Every structure is written in structure tokens, then in C-alpha cells.
Structure 1
Amino acid sequence: MSDREGTSGGPPPTDDDLSLPKATVAKMISDLLPSDVVCAKETRDLVIECCVEFIHLISSEANEICEGESKKTIAPEHIIGALGKLGFDTFKDEVEDVLKDHKQQQKDREKKVSKFDQSGLTEAELLAAQEELFAASRAKFNSAQQ
């Protein structure tokens, strides 16, 4: 798709520009392997290349599904459809669970009340309390200096 979110308007990145954070992948690999097994740098780099290729494959298929529906934005449903179309049905349930959890976290974040609202105080009362704290801090600092 030509309408790419998150790009700076420059040319799209080439496949050589695409990668994953090496430290993050190395941590994931070490977390999955037994403690007495070491992963070579070349192996980590191969895992990264495989992951990038997998992401490219899924996103390309999702893009085709998206364009087939005359949409301009790839939605989670397009990714799930791409997984099925490419024969990765075993991943679909887990992806749907993660999506459900993500949507719930989004709702929970939107429901959170700000600390200002939670305080139950007016802005003037909060400013007065802040000034009292500053004065107490100054007094403590000045007494420590003497």
C-alpha cells in the first residue's frame, strides 16, 4: 500500500533496512532456551532474518486482503485472514487472544481517571498544597545548610 503509517515521507525502506532489535531477539532466544544452551551470533541473525521474512509474508498477504476489500488500512482481521490463507491456522487462536487482551487494555486505559480527578481537590487547593510542600522542602534545605 502506498499510504504507510509511521513513515517520514521518504522512500520506503528496502529489505536490507528491515530488521528487529538484536538485543531483544537475543533475550527472547535466551529466555526460551535451557540455561546450559548458548545461541551463536550467526544463529541469532538467522532467526532475525526468518522473523523479518515471516512478517513480510504475512503483511504482504494481509495487504492483498485489505486491497481486495478496498480498504486503505490493514486491520487485525486482515492479519488473521492472512495467517489462515497462508496455512498458519495454528497461530490464529493465539493471535485472536492477544488481540482481545490488547483491546481490553485499551479500554482499561481509557477508563482510568487522572490523578487530578482522583484527588477530589480543586486546582487551587492542589496549588496551595504544592506551595506548602515547596516551603517545607526549602525550610528543611535551609536548616541543613546551617
Structure 2
Amino acid sequence: MSDNEGHGGLPPTDDDLSLPKATVAKMISEFLPKDVSCAKETRDLIIECCVEFIHLISSEANEICEQESKKTIAPEHIISALKRLGFEGFTEEIEDVLKDHKKAQKDRERKVSKLEASGLTEEELAQQQEELFAKSRAKFQNAQQ
């Protein structure tokens, strides 16, 4: 059964939007002292607040995107939305996370292209790696003697 089945093929409504309860509960428990617990109703209220926050930011980012005649919301639109709505305090950390994400993507692309550029299969590369390990072990053992 798809998410949209109950709505006759319509997109989900705001009432359908949520966050994973177990994940939110885990995050809450990580912030609280060990001897303090969080009631289910409190967790559900926090989830509602988070969903509303995401909705607010995404709506503002969409407005910025439309003003720039863009069709895709970019990370910069989210950062601008946060600033417009008075959440400047979040932008530095978000920009740091964005930089880390972009670097990780570049690193991943670089690794794939190195593999492709080698022209070898994974098995051939694994065999070469084993040969290098064997040479290294032999060199180490000779140095020990």
C-alpha cells in the first residue's frame, strides 16, 4: 500500500507528514540527563514542532526560489530562508555541514573515477592489493632479520 493510496492518488497532506518517532525519541534521550525521561505526548509535540519548522523553512525557501526564477530549491535558498525568518544563529553550522557534504561527494566521485580510470575489475585490483601486501610483509620480515 503506497502513502498516497488513502488519498486517491493525491499528494500527502500536512497531517501525513511526520518524523520517525524512534529516532526522535533517541535524540531526546541523548539530550536529557540519564534520570529524566520524556513522555510520549511530549515527544509527539516535539515532532509536531519540528514538522512545522521544516514546513516554515521550506515554504520560505520555495518563495526565494520562485523569486529567483529557479525550479529547484538549493541549499543557499534554505540558508537565505533561515536568515529571513530570524534563524541566523543556525546558518554557520549549516554552512559547515554543507561544506562537509560537498567534500564527501567530491571524494566519493574521485574514488569512483579512479576505479573506472584503472580499467581493471575489482577482482584484479584485489589481486594487485594482495600482491602489494605480500611484498610489504616480505620486506618487513627481511628488515626484522
* Equivalent in the alignment of 1:28: 27
* Equivalent in the alignment of 1:53: 52
Which amino acid in the other structure matches residue 49 of structure 1?
E
Q: Which runs of 5+ in 2 are unaligned?
A: 128-145
The 1:82/1:107 distance shift into structure 2, 3 A limit, reads same
1:99 aligns with 2:94: no
* TM-score normalised by the chain length of structure 2: 0.72
Residues 20-58 of structure 1: CA distance to partner in whole angstroms, max 9, x if unpaired? Answer: 000000011011111111000000000000000000000
Count of residues paired in the alignment: 117
- What is the rounded CA distance, in whole Å, between the counterparts of 2:80 and 2:28 in structure 1? 28
* Equivalent in the alignment of 2:134: none
- What is the rounded CA distance, in whole Å, between the counterparts of 1:24 and 1:84 in structure 2? 27
Q: More helix by proportion, 1 or 2?
A: 2
- What is the rounded CA distance, in whole Å, between the counterparts of 1:71 and 1:121 in structure 2? 39
Q: What is the Cα deviation at residue 115 of structure 1?
A: 9.8
3-state SS in 2 of match to 1:112? helix
- What is the rounded CA distance, in whole Å, between the counterparts of 2:30 and 2:23 in structure 1? 11
* TM-score normalised by the chain length of structure 1: 0.72
Return structure 1 stretches of 4+ with deviation > 6 angstroms.
Answer: 114-118
Residues 88-137 of structure 1: CA distance to partner in whole angstroms, max 9, x if unpaired? Answer: 0101111111111110111111111489669x7955x75xx8xxxxxxxx
- What is the rounded CA distance, in whole Å, between the counterparts of 1:65 and 1:115 in structure 2? 38
Q: Which runs of 5+ in 1 are unaligned?
A: 1-6, 130-146
- What is the rounded CA distance, in whole Å, between the counterparts of 2:119 and 2:96 in structure 1? 40
Which amino acid in the other structure matches residue 103 of structure 1?
K
* Equivalent in the alignment of 1:142: none
Q: Percent identity?
A: 76
* Equivalent in the alignment of 1:83: 82
